[in-house]
Structure 1
């Protein structure tokens, strides 16, 4: 099995494959459009399209979704990812702690996965609220979380380590999942793998503080399919009648994830 590799590290050269990201961003005027466009321009994306009327930002390039979100949020505006890549090419995994000490703040990470062709994908991994150090992510054979990470089986695909060294207060990605008050440190890595999303649905991602070993306090989450670009255009939920922004506020106020 081929090991995954961190993009452009250790002298490895990986040609960045492009994919599309669709985001909802609340904008009120042309100055908002200018601010978002100006912020994203240094990222060297191949295209940036900002639709003021629909409150949509569409980008194309080889940049991590978390980087796009963080860059927009630094302008003072929120950003919600509504789709990435082609239909049936994207997945998401929320990483949680099953340790009793984290009962009130279990969410510690988020992995966004997107295929860029039939054999390759990128994993945008962001973690938060952890002790400083090196952590070892892997995709596991099973999505069985009956015993947390301990019940996920053997390694299906190993991933490169992630360094967690930045104070948690600087992480906006995991804050959006309701874990902004969690102390500790954060980290982000954009990982490459020779896999397809179809191979991964129902399996799990585990993040361990120990190399080649899973422990009771290892983070874990099940990989689920997510929307491709332009597949999720609803602004109002047909069930609740609330907008995506109202549902966002409700989720954060209740500490809900996702």
Structure 2
């Protein structure tokens, strides 16, 4: 599958030279050669290292991680960001994580039904926050992604309040709507979805203690003239939610989301799942 340049959309470029580690599905030297060809196209990538045995690609440069991720995915491979940080030794400006849970159909039950995804936030510098979201088990199609005001998930998404909207504007897209409006995540026929983006409005220090919710329906980004569109993009009820919590920085805690909970980075199972499919062919 070739690289489609039309899918690489402009994205705010971080100001600092940074490094990003990707877990990339690779099975042979041909895969390495394909990835090498992709990365050579971008002058903003200063250097990179491709490790076939570890299925790891390390990239350093000023190109936005979301654009690198899309380029690698357009080569036909599963791609997951495993770590992100700056290359000048000064570190990032903050990091956070949100572990998503599903809740029973009766919110009063107040019991999570199982972890189905996570989002990671890295404040690359004062101006740019990298957001990396991966989910599993949702229905195929687009689902709205929003940061909500409250960190109360005692009744699931129903107790998380409205979208985070400190500028008091109508619902919209990532650039013009609520600060908490992050567009849509696309879920494939196998129930997996990935979203990587940079935001110049989301700040890690503003969202810690709040919540993140994935909706049942696609977000219309406030483009309709209806009251519902201007309120939540007709995105419907939430299906996954979690609290945004402070986390270890990129490359500081690669294998676990939280040392106290011991939860592993479940997205790695997706790479392993792809390996099993290849080996069974």
Residue matched to 2:59:
59
Per-residue Cα deviation, 1:31-74 (whole angstroms, up to 9, x for no partner): 654343224344665234215498442223213175366357x3
Contact 2:141 2:188 in 1 (8 A): no
Contact 2:69 2:79 in 1 (8 A): no
Residue matched to 1:83:
83
Q: Distance in 1 between matches of 2:120 and 2:69?
A: 9
1:162 Cα offset (Å): 2.7
Residue matched to 1:168:
188
Contact 2:12 2:198 in 1 (8 A): no
How big is the alpha-carbon RMSD for the aligned residues of Structure 1 and Structure 2?
4.7
Q: Distance in 1 between matches of 2:181 and 2:205?
A: 21
Residue matched to 1:148:
156
Do residues 201 (structure 1) and 222 (structure 2) align?
Answer: no
1:201 Cα offset (Å): 2.3
1:222 Cα offset (Å): 1.8
Aligned residue runs from structure 1 range 113-132, under 5 A:
113-125=121-133, 129-130=138-139, 132=141
Residue matched to 1:230:
251
Pair 219,17 (structure 1): closer, same or farther in 2 beyond 3 Å: farther
Q: Give structure 2 stretches of 5+ with no counterpart.
A: 1-7, 86-90, 107-111, 166-177, 218-227, 274-281
Pair 16,29 (structure 1): closer, same or farther in 2 beyond 3 Å: same
Contact 2:147 2:164 in 1 (8 A): yes
* TM-score normalised by L of structure 1: 0.58
* TM-score normalised by L of structure 2: 0.54
Q: How many pairs does the alignment contain?
A: 215
Q: Distance in 2 between matches of 1:228 and 1:69?
A: 24
Q: Give structure 1 stretches of 5+ with no counterpart.
A: 1-6, 170-179, 253-258
Contact 1:142 1:153 in 2 (8 A): yes
Contact 1:83 1:227 in 2 (8 A): no
Q: Distance in 1 between matches of 2:74 and 2:131?
A: 18
Per-residue Cα deviation, 1:210-258 (whole angstroms, up to 9, x for no partner): 65359654432222344534324679xx9xxxx999x848x97xxxxxx
1:149 Cα offset (Å): 0.8
Pair 67,218 (structure 1): closer, same or farther in 2 beyond 3 Å: same
Q: Distance in 1 between matches of 2:141 and 2:82?
A: 31
Residue matched to 2:36:
37
1:142 Cα offset (Å): 2.4
